[in-house]
Amino acid sequence: MSMQYSKLELKSTYEDLITNKEKISPQKRGYMFERLLYSILFHEKLEPLASYNIKGEQVDGSFFWNGQTFLLEAK
């Protein structure tokens, strides 16, 4: 499975997260949202990195823009 959604999958995934949020577990919604963010950054050519854990913390992702790496924390 690829980390990013195709451009066609982006809209349907976003709509699924919004309309079916009661039917999807919070953890699964979180992973879907992280993948959605990664996909958007990927399609915008911002060189995203997937989420990762550092000693009890989770970084939701990061991306490279204008010569700098930015960490992403989404709620």
Q: HEC states along the chain?
A: CCCCCCHHHHHHHHHHHHHCCCCCCHHHHHHHHHHHHHHHHHHCCCCCECCEEECCEEECEEEEECCEEEEECCC
Q: Is 56 left (phi over 0), alpha (psi -120 to 50) or beta?
A: left
Residue type for 63, please?
Answer: F
pTM of the model: 0.77
Q: Is residue 32 part of a domain?
A: yes
Q: Is residue 59 part of a domain?
A: yes
Q: Is residue 2 part of a domain?
A: no
Q: Is residue 65 part of a domain?
A: yes
| Tens digit of each residue's pLDDT (9 = 90 or more) over 12-65 | 989 999 999 899 998 898 888 888 888 999 999 998 887 777 787 777 788 999
Q: Is residue 1 part of a domain?
A: no
User: Which residue segment(s) compose the domain that 65 sits in?
Assistant: 7-72
Q: Is the pLDDT of residue 68 over 90?
A: yes
Q: Is residue 27 part of a domain?
A: yes
Number of folded domains in the chain?
1
For position 2, what pLDDT does the model report?
Answer: 65
Q: Is residue 48 part of a domain?
A: yes
Q: Is residue 38 part of a domain?
A: yes
